[in-house]
Amino acid sequence: MKVFWILFAVFALLGLLLAAAVLAIDHHVKKSTEDQILDLGEVGQGYDCIYVLGCGVRENGTPSHMLADRLDTAYALYEMGVSDYILVSGDNSREDYDEVGVMKQYLMDKGVPEEVIYKDHAGFSTYESLYRADAIFEVDNIVIVTQGYHLYRALYIAKDRGIKAVGIEADPRTYYGQTMRDLREVVARCKDFFYCIFEPKPTYLGETITLG
């Protein structure tokens, strides 16, 4: 019984230390990037691209609410003249699932010319998307568009890759399941904090693509 309580105390202490470390990293990621999150009216012009991170698409080939809100925000920025180009990044790992194709078509349906929309088919995660933005598309100065809870991590990775970035929140509504999404994001920030230290390569690299 004595050994049991000793082990219990040791594991409880380790659990508390782990939780404290995760929360400290989460705070660091958010605090170090919060000044880069701007309102629409604060964004200037001359950025290499408006960078839209992908998320789920429906079975009927239309964007989810979250993705549609990101694309609508990107369209508003394009209409403001923030950049001449839009780069969409997402998962196209299967023939029957093409986030970036849906994203491009949605923007074209709103009137954005096809030739100014670039697709990153291998943005399988936030880390891989930003890594490829640097390594493949060689962008230096971008506006990242995603929901607010996700912006901190995206901006943190961009900064680590040497990309100057500001973020615009695409949050015009409340999303179902956001509490669980916020909790998962704490762990994701911690994961990508270490990814930025060890810099694993993304699933795919390739030849460089110059915007324009």
Q: Each residue of 55-68: pLDDT tens digit?
A: 989 988 899 999 99
Residue 12 or residue 164, greater confidence = 164
pLDDT at 7 over 90: no
Per-residue pLDDT reduced to its tens digit, 21-33: 999 999 999 999 9
- Cβ within 8 Å of residue 10, ≥6 positions away: none
Q: What is the pTM of this model?
A: 0.93
Distance separating alpha carbons of residues 2 and 21, to the nearest angstrom: 29
CB 145 within 8 A of CB 43: no
Determine the pLDDT at residue 3: 78
pLDDT at 142 over 90: yes
> Residue 188: in which H helix or E strand, if any?
helix 178-198
- Cβ within 8 Å of residue 124, ≥6 positions away: 91, 93, 202, 203
- The arithmetic mean of pLDDT across residues 156-162, rounded, is 98
Please return the burial class of 7, using the count of CB atoms within 10 Å of its CB with bins 0-12, 13-18 and 19+: exposed
pLDDT at 51 over 90: yes
Distance separating alpha carbons of residues 102 and 67, to the nearest angstrom: 10
